[in-house]
Structure 1
Amino acid sequence: MTSTPETPLGVVGVVDAVTAQLRGRILSGEIRSGDPLTEAAVSQAFGVARPSAKAAIEQLVASGLLVRTAHRSARVVGIDPETVRDVYRTRTRLESAALRELASTRSVPRAALDANAEILAMPSGPDPATVGPDLRFHTALIDALDSERTGRMYRSVLDEVRLCMAQVQGRRLLDASDIGAQHADILDAVASGEGERAAALLDAHLSSAEERLVEALDAD
């Protein structure tokens, strides 16, 4: 990890900056599952005070990317089949409810269309670059409800969702054209007012990613 000097932004700004850098390195695989993150190591690597390093670690523990057990250093959470299934099923519950509500007024989020357009423009084949627009597509469904609490609930598992998605595409398990086509079908159902069909399509879409990742993890 490269050093980043303490800035005049104040403690909160420093903590957020360190948290963002650590989050990016975890999600990219630079910091791997099971790797320990100590306050001393983070403090030295980023040139920040120990309390700032501790606060950044605690933020990542709260978001689910790190886990800390009694008298042990925080470690990057391991992605196992049980975690994958729980994360994907939590997503399905929240996003299915969002789709039914959106379909009741035939409201297709512009942000979801734009995100999926990025995916459809990608060359056919598995590509880790789909993770960003794919996540924006699904988040747009939740944000379109304009509910602060629903959005907060969804974002409480967002880092774990991103970690799972990065694992799926990092292993090149899903084709970009398939993802885009499935997204388009979901939005068509919403536009037609078919909430149950949209929810069923979402379930099939997320279940496919879930099963492929679980199979890959079992094989490992």
Structure 2
Amino acid sequence: MCIFFFPCIDPFKMFSSFFQQLELITPFQLYFNPELIFKHFQIWRLITNYLFFGPVGFNFLFNMIFLYRYCRMLEEGSFRGRTADFVFMFLFGGLLMTLFGLFVNLVFLGQAFTIMLVYVWSRRNPYVRMNFFGLLIFQAPFLPWVLMGFSLLLGNSIIVDLLGIAVGHIYFFLEDVFPNQPGGGRLLRTPSVLKAIFDTPEDDPNYNPLPEERPGGFAWGEGQRLGG
């Protein structure tokens, strides 16, 4: 799934910053502005505000590394074999952040999206021990808060981090906590259209195909157990 998304997301993030450095585009053409979106129909801003992490530098590289790392670990971990559910998490998180973005003064939401991925991974891997730059050792659920404190030390606003943590917690609660509570149930269901697009149909266990005729009678493509 990251293989599917990152040709669409990571290069765009890098190209957005690269083009901005060359002054081919400016952040004013990308940022989230509800008035320009709904009154002037600049719909692309709903997507481009997630694709810009600022000029190439420490903050840009930091966010790109964390985005790739935790997206990949989620895909290969709790979302293994569930590509449609993974895509649905992206869509749900993006939609929720966009709605929250209408009420907070944020113009770029890419970092909040990264924090959301980190939060979901950290809550699903509570016993993993983390080492932050060799300075701090802590359990995974504290990672989003450590990143928020690090962002605060760098002089950045923590509103972005809090938004990512809030959206990540809402998704985690609805997907992992509430369904297991007495009287609870699944409120988030991946649309069937996403499953049809992204999930590979399961093989019918009752289907028994006839053996193919292979030229020369050789078992082409059939392997043997080593040492057999």
- Please give the TM-score of this superposition, normalised by the length of structure 2: 0.29
- Please give the TM-score of this superposition, normalised by the length of structure 1: 0.30
Higher helix content, 1 or 2: 1
Larger radius of gyration, structure 1 or 2?
2
Larger RCO (alpha carbons 8 Å, 6+ apart): 1
